[in-house]
Amino acid sequence: MATNPVPDHVPPEMVRDFSLFTSPGMAPTPNGDPHAAVACVHAGPPIFYSPFNTRDGRGTWVITRARDQRRVLQDAETFSSHRSIFASALGENWPLIPLELDPPAHSVFRSLLNPLLSPKRVTVFEAAVRARASTLTERIAASGTSSDVMEDFAFPFAVNIFLRFLGLPDHRLDTFVGWANDLLHGDDVKRPAAARTIVAFIDELAAVRRKEPADDFMTFVVQAQVEGRRLTHEEVRGIGVLLFVAGLDTVAAAIGFDLAYLARNPKDQEWLRREPGRIVVAAEELLRAYPTVQIIRVAKKDIEFEGAPIRKGDYVSCATMIANRDPTEFESPNTIDLARPDNRHAAFGYGPHRCLGSHFARRVIVIGLEEWLARIPSFRIKQGTAPITSGGHVFGIENLILDWS
């Protein structure tokens, strides 16, 4: 692993060997559980510096207490969301919207997009979600006693539904999932190539919808007005790319992590099969235990934070997986209790940027688990296989082969 320079202002005693990325010789390991890899950080200080914790060769401060993370995420005056993480892969500098905007612009765009992802819109869509899940699980049950879950179910279910929700062409699902995979988990060649392809796709879609409006999200965006004006080309692109990328991997990964857990814990699996009414609460606990999206902010000014000399421009990581295993917030945080009461986990973030797609994600995950458990008998990880999980800003899972022979 390359050793990134530690900035001069970081005291050497505050530096730790820690990374949320999957790298040889560093936790989390490719075949390990990247979530469990962070369970030990709470025994240490409230903040430390990791030289390895981003993809772009820069380190981050790592906040280890959920309470302190909330302070950071509420304080957009000090900690900015503007990172251009996607555009920088192209050597450009434009924000994903609303994710990388700060106030006051953030709330203008957030209000614009809220109705697109409201609970009401999700409810209207539920019958289609269930129909898709039941078709796929029926097909899987009829075709044998084992399944490559990510390929046969999690992606074709969650991403198909997501594309239809946005009014995007679902026959290109495999292509889109491939782009997302390269973007989120690919190397330094695949990542910028995927970013370029996605931008070209969104730009073209916007151009088509300007000429031929339809009843879909891109038409909504190109026709939208903020503060009495149409959106700029860059704003349309920033929204289009974010919404497109946000749903291509996240929900499928959550379903994968959930089914991997249930495969390894047959008692919990049987309990949910017997009492499907418990799945809504159980899914929250699995989101707590296996959150997939990590959060980073950039310091806008110099500040002392819990004894750490954070300087303007430093990255500050508020990893949801660290917050979700904080023993001061959750009793026995490393025990998965599918009936955990009052589960205020951070899987969807906190504060002004809290996930806009959380209603959609929750319903798709719950319906997916309900339909899977209703049709697939007692399952386990297929002998001789092991799911492969990957770290990074968005965690992934692949090669989840389940067996019920």
Nearest distance from C-beta of residue 73 to ligand HEM, angstroms: 6
Minimum distance, C-beta of residue 75 to ligand HEM, in the bound complex (Å): 12
Smaller CB distance to ligand HEM: residue 38 or 246? 246
Whether a cis peptide bond, with omega within 30° of 0, leads into 28 is yes
Least distance in angstroms from the C-beta of 250 to ligand HEM: 4
The tokens of 360 are what?
């959609």
3-state secondary structure 187-200: CCCHHHHHHHHHHH
Smallest gap from Cβ 72 to ligand HEM, in A, equals 10
Name the packing angle between helices 173-185 and 155-166 (round to 10°). 100
Output 50 or 320, the one with its CB closest to ligand HEM. 320
In the complex, what is the shortest distance from the CB of residue 274 to ligand HEM, in angstroms, rounded to a whole number? 25
CB of 212 to ligand HEM, least distance (A): 24
Residue whose CB is less far from ligand HEM, 27 or 246: 246
The span from the CA of 101 to the CA of 106, in Å, is 5
Q: Which residues bind ligand HEM (CB under 6 A)?
A: 81, 98-99, 110, 117, 162, 242-243, 246-247, 250-251, 254, 291-293, 295, 320, 347-349, 353, 355-357, 360-361
In angstroms, how far apart are the furthest CA atoms of the chain?
A: 62
Q: Which residues pair with 296 in a beta bridge?
A: 317
Contact predicate 366/29, CB 8 Å: no
DSSP state of 293: B
Radius of gyration over alpha carbons of the chain, in Å?
A: 21
- Could you give the CA distance from residue 98 to residue 322 in angstroms, rounded to a whole number? 24
Looking at the Cβ atoms of 41 and 293, the one nearer to ligand HEM is: 293
CB of 123 to ligand HEM, least distance (A): 15
User: By beta-carbon distance, which residue lies closest to ligand HEM?
Assistant: 357
Q: For ligand HEM, give the closer residue by CB, 10 or 69.
A: 69
d(CA 331, CA 325) in angstroms, rounded, equals 9
Question: What Å distances lie between residue 290 and 125, 187, 253, 349, 403, CA to CA?
Answer: 26, 24, 9, 13, 22
Identity at 136, one-letter amino acid code: L
Residue number, 20 or 99, with CB nearest to ligand HEM: 99
Pick between residue 47 and residue 163 the one whose CB is nearest to ligand HEM: 163
